[in-house]
Amino acid sequence: MAKRTRTSDMRNKIEFFSQSETFDYQSGSYVLSWQSQFTSWCRETTIYREQLEAAIGGANVLRDRKEFITRYNENIDTTLRCKYKGKMYEVSIVGDTRGDRRETRFLAESILDGGG
């Protein structure tokens, strides 16, 4: 069995955003925007396998993907975006890989337009 993530390894503060509608009084319509919901301390790991496959496959775009591990949190799901080191990432896969409700592991992929 793999070693569990220590609290001292979770040294990256990640801010999570959810999409919500806000009323724009200038135009008189609702506008979708990303609002901050909560923060969490996480451990970050860069995923190099995606970059290797893109280089071997002849693709010209390297995907910026990260893997994060945090304490168990039911609020994290695929409808959220997260901000890490000033860059927005879209949460793609979320789960408790061991099933013991101690850690939540999620993958995040960079958003090219900065997260709107």
**How confident is the model over 28-47, as pLDDT tens digits?**
999 999 999 999 999 998 87
Structure confidence at residue 57 (pLDDT): 55
Structure confidence at residue 65 (pLDDT): 86
Structure confidence at residue 59 (pLDDT): 54
**Other CB atoms within 10 A of residue 104 CB:** 21
Query: pLDDT tens digits, residue range 43-102?
Result: 998 876 655 555 555 555 556 889 999 999 999 999 999 999 999 999 988 998 888 888
Residue 41 corresponds to which amino acid? W
SS3 of residue 67 by DSSP: strand
Residues 6+ apart with CB under 8 A from 10: 41, 42, 43, 69, 70, 71
More confident site: 105 or 112 = 105
Q: For residues 108 and 90, give the distance between their C-alpha atoms in angstroms, rounded to a whole number.
A: 5
CA nearest neighbour of 95 among 107, 112, 80, 110: 107
pTM for the structure as a whole? 0.77
In this structure, what are the phi and psi dihedrals at residue 31, rounded to the nearest 5 degrees? -120, 135
Sign for the CA dihedral angle at 67, 71, 74, 75 comes to negative
